[in-house]
Amino acid sequence: MLASSGIRISELCALNRDSIKNRQFSTWIKSAKPRTCYIDIKAEQAVQEYLSMRMDNNPALFITNQKGCHRITQRAARLIFETACNNSLDFDRVRPHTLRHSFATTLLSRDVDLPYIADLMGHQDINTTREYLHYCNTKLQQIYDAAML
């Protein structure tokens, strides 16, 4: 969900079961107005699989235990994420917020214009979005070659 949508961990924890429809949902955390967010098919399938295993009536999309008593907290979500990363050989020092940076960088590398990236991330100021972008020199080389050669 985080990698697919670029949402903050607080936004993830605030989602309800019925929040996602047609691979999109709204969030308004850290903003006065709601913004539309999207997930890819893989994330949608993972959420559906997760929900099919739940036996509770809690409206929260993600819960802390099998009994379904409590909505997951940001702290618990971070701990689960970091434990999974620490148990992986591929993800060293990755935090949930790292995926937000990756989301923005992936969009940029796929030639999405900066204003659209800012909107998808819920940034009022494009300069905030720029701080999330980590482009590589090979992309700069391609841009230079296209313009100059």
> Which residues participate in catalysis according to the annotation?
8, 30, 97, 100, 123, 132
Give CA–CA dist 137/143, Å, rounded. Answer: 10
**Residue 103 one-letter amino acid:** F
Give CA–CA dist 116/38, Å, rounded. Answer: 13
| Longest distance between any two alpha carbons in the chain, whole Å | 63
Question: Up-side HSE of residue 70: CA atoms within 13 Å toward CB?
Answer: 7
DSSP 123: -
Of 18, 38, 16, 14, nearest to 28 (Cα)? 14
Task: Evaluate whether 27 touches 11 at the Cβ level (below 8 Å).
Answer: yes
